[in-house]
Amino acid sequence: MAGPLLETKFHVPRVRRGLLPRPRLTERLGRAAESALTLVSAPAGFGKTTALAEWLSTGPAGARSVAWLSLDARDNDPALFWTYVVTALQGAEPTVGTGALALLRSARSSTEAVLSSLLNDLAGLPHDVVLVLDDYHLVVARDVQDGMAFLLAHLPPQAHLVIATRADPSFPLARLRARADLVEVRVADLRFTRDEAAAYLEHGMGLELTPGDVATLEQRTEGWIAALQLAALSLQGRQDAAGFIEGFAGDDRYVVDYLVEEVLERQSEEVRTFLLRTSVLSRLSGGLCEAVTGQDGGRATLEALDRAGLFLVPLDDRRRWYRYHHLFADVLRARLREEEPERLSDLHRRASEWYEHHGEPAEAVQHALDAGDVERAAALVELAVPALRRARQEATLRRWLEALPEELLRRRPVLAIGYVGSLMSRGELEGVQERLDAVERLLDEQDAGAPSADVVVVDRAGYRSLPSEIAMYRAGRALVLGDVAATTAHARRARDLAVEDDHLTRGAAAALLGLAYWTGGDLDTARRWYTDATAGLARAGHHSDVLGGALVLADIAVAQGRLRAAMSTFEEGLRLAGRVDPPLRGAADMHVGVGALLCERNDLDGARRHLQLSRDLGEHAGLPQNRYRRRVVMARIRAAEGDPDAALGLLDEAERLYVGDFSPDVRPVAALRARVWISQGRWAEALGWARDRGLSSDDELGYVREFEHVTLARALVGRYTAERDERTIKEATGLLRRLLAAAEAGARTGGLIDVLVVQALASQVRGDLSAAIASLRRALALAAPEGHVRVFVDEGAPMAALLRAAGERGPDGGHVRRLVAAFDGADGRVPLQRGLVDPLSARELDVLRLLATDLAGPDIARELVVSLNTVRTHTKNIYAKLAVNNRRAAVRRAEELALTSPVRGSGHRGRDAPER
Q: Residue 505 in contact with residue 472, Cβ under 8 Å?
A: yes
Residue 576 and residue 486 share a domain? yes
With a CB cutoff of 8 Å and minimum separation 6, the contacts of 812 are 777, 780, 781, 784
Whether residue 436 has pLDDT greater than 90: yes
How sure is the predictor about 774, in pLDDT bands with cuts at 50, 70 and 90? very high
Residue 161 and residue 52 share a domain? yes
Which one-letter amino acid corresponds to residue 908? H
CA dist., res. 568 & res. 549, Å (int): 14
Q: Residue 712 in contact with residue 678, Cβ under 8 Å?
A: no
In a domain, 803, yes or no: yes
Residue 209 and residue 185 share a domain? no
Whether residue 916 has pLDDT greater than 50: no
Lowest-confidence region among 300-314, 534-548, 597-611, 809-823: 809-823
Whether residue 227 has pLDDT greater than 90: no
Which of the listed residues 265, 294, 323 is the one where a domain comes to its end? 265
In a domain, 286, yes or no: no
Whether residue 542 has pLDDT greater than 80: no
Residue 203 and residue 126 share a domain? no
The model's pTM: 0.62
- Enumerate helices (H) and strands (E) in the chain, giving the number of each: 48, 7
pLDDT (mean) for 794-802:
87
pLDDT (mean) for 485-499:
92
CA dist., res. 309 & res. 112, Å (int): 43
> Shortest CA distance to 636 belongs to which of 796, 749, 790?
790
pLDDT (mean) for 885-895:
85
What pLDDT is stored for residue 254 in this prediction?
A: 55
In a domain, 108, yes or no: yes
Residue 635 and residue 582 share a domain? no
Whether residue 6 has pLDDT greater than 50: yes
Over the stretch 389-428, which tens digit does the pLDDT of each residue have?
A: 766 677 888 889 999 999 898 889 999 999 998 888 777 8
Q: Residue 744 in contact with residue 756, Cβ under 8 Å?
A: no
Whether residue 700 has pLDDT greater than 80: yes
Q: In this structure, what CATH number is given to the domain that contains residue 495?
A: 1.25.40.10
Residue 109 and residue 236 share a domain? no
Rounded to the nearest 10°, the torsion over CA 85, 76, 427, 570 is -10
In three-state secondary structure terms, 654 is helix
Over the stretch 80-105, which tens digit does the pLDDT of each residue have?
A: 999 999 999 999 999 898 888 888 87
In three-state secondary structure terms, 755 is helix
Element (H, E) at 154: none
Helix ranges restricted to H, 445-483: 460-464, 466-480
Q: Residue 86 in contact with residue 147, Cβ under 8 Å?
A: no
What pLDDT is stored for residue 459 in this prediction?
A: 86
In three-state secondary structure terms, 216 is helix
Residue 61 and residue 151 share a domain? yes
Element (H, E) at 537: helix 523-539
What pLDDT is stored for residue 404 in this prediction?
A: 93
Q: In this structure, what CATH number is given to the domain that contains residue 867?
A: 1.10.10.10
Q: Residue 264 in contact with residue 311, Cβ under 8 Å?
A: no
Q: Residue 484 in contact with residue 518, Cβ under 8 Å?
A: no
Structural domain total, the chain: 5
Q: Residue 131 in contact with residue 89, Cβ under 8 Å?
A: yes
Which one is predicted more confidently, 364 or 200? 364
Over the stretch 719-757, which tens digit does the pLDDT of each residue have?
A: 998 888 899 999 999 999 999 999 999 999 999 999 999
Which one is predicted more confidently, 829 or 382? 382
Rounded to the nearest 10°, the torsion over CA 250, 254, 259, 262 is -110
Whether residue 901 has pLDDT greater than 60: no
Helix ranges restricted to H, 578-705: 587-600, 604-617, 626-640, 644-657, 669-679, 683-692
In a domain, 345, yes or no: no
Classify residue 59 as left (phi > 0), alpha (psi -120 to 50) or beta. left
Which of the listed residues 824, 855, 882 is the one where a domain comes to its end? 824
**What's the mean pLDDT when you consider all of the chain?**
84
For residue 579, what are the domain limits? 410-592
How sure is the predictor about 108, in pLDDT bands with cuts at 50, 70 and 90? low
What pLDDT is stored for residue 17 in this prediction?
A: 65
Over the stretch 641-687, which tens digit does the pLDDT of each residue have?
A: 888 889 999 999 999 888 777 788 999 999 999 999 998 888 899 99
Which of the listed residues 211, 240, 265 is the one where a domain comes to its end? 265
Which one-letter amino acid corresponds to residue 762? A
Q: Residue 459 in contact with residue 413, Cβ under 8 Å?
A: no
Q: Residue 178 in contact with residue 14, Cβ under 8 Å?
A: no
Which one is predicted more confidently, 826 or 697? 697
With a CB cutoff of 8 Å and minimum separation 6, the contacts of 59 are none
Q: How far is CA 197 from the centre of its chain?
A: 49
Residue 450 is given by DSSP the state: B
Over the stretch 128-161, which tens digit does the pLDDT of each residue have?
A: 999 999 999 999 888 899 899 999 989 999 999 9
In a domain, 388, yes or no: no
Over the stretch 306-364, which tens digit does the pLDDT of each residue have?
A: 877 667 878 887 778 998 877 678 778 888 998 999 999 999 999 999 999 998 998 99
Which one is predicted more confidently, 212 or 466? 466
How sure is the predictor about 826, in pLDDT bands with cuts at 50, 70 and 90? very low
Which one is predicted more confidently, 705 or 874? 705
Whether residue 911 has pLDDT greater than 60: no
Residue 673 and residue 794 share a domain? yes
How sure is the predictor about 255, in pLDDT bands with cuts at 50, 70 and 90? low
Residue 217 and residue 171 share a domain? no
In a domain, 911, yes or no: no
What pLDDT is stored for residue 1 in this prediction?
A: 52
Whether residue 902 has pLDDT greater than 50: no
Residue 761 and residue 692 share a domain? yes
> Shortest CA distance to 118 belongs to which of 145, 84, 72?
84
In a domain, 358, yes or no: no
> Phi and psi of 105, rounded to 5°?
-80, -5
Residue 703 and residue 633 share a domain? yes
pLDDT (mean) for 458-485:
88
Whether residue 814 has pLDDT greater than 90: no
DSSP E strand stretches across 789-904:
none
* Cβ contacts of 714-717, under 8 Å, gap ≥ 24: 714/675, 714/678, 714/686, 714/758, 714/761, 715/674, 715/678, 715/683, 715/686, 715/687, 715/690, 716/687, 717/758, 717/761, 717/762, 717/765
What pLDDT is stored for residue 194 in this prediction?
A: 82
Burial class (CB in 10 A: 0-12, 13-18, 19+), 160: buried
Residue 434 and residue 513 share a domain? yes
Q: Residue 352 in contact with residue 373, Cβ under 8 Å?
A: yes
CA dist., res. 369 & res. 537, Å (int): 38
What pLDDT is stored for residue 837 in this prediction?
A: 54
Which one is predicted more confidently, 246 or 522? 522
In three-state secondary structure terms, 423 is helix
What pLDDT is stored for residue 580 in this prediction?
A: 72
Query: Apex CA 351: angle with CA 349 and CA 353, to 5°?
Result: 70
> Phi and psi of 192, rounded to 5°?
-70, 135
CA dist., res. 840 & res. 142, Å (int): 57
Count the residues in the chain.
Answer: 916
Q: In this structure, what CATH number is given to the domain that contains residue 79?
A: 3.40.50.300
DSSP assignment of 298-335 equals: HHHHHHHHHHTT-SEEE-STTS--EEE-HHHHHHHHHH
In a domain, 312, yes or no: no
Over the stretch 30-80, which tens digit does the pLDDT of each residue have?
A: 887 788 999 998 877 778 888 898 888 876 545 578 999 999 888 988 889
Which one-letter amino acid corresponds to residue 36? A
**Is the bond preceding 451 in cis, omega lying within 30 degrees of 0?**
no
Q: Residue 332 in contact with residue 324, Cβ under 8 Å?
A: yes
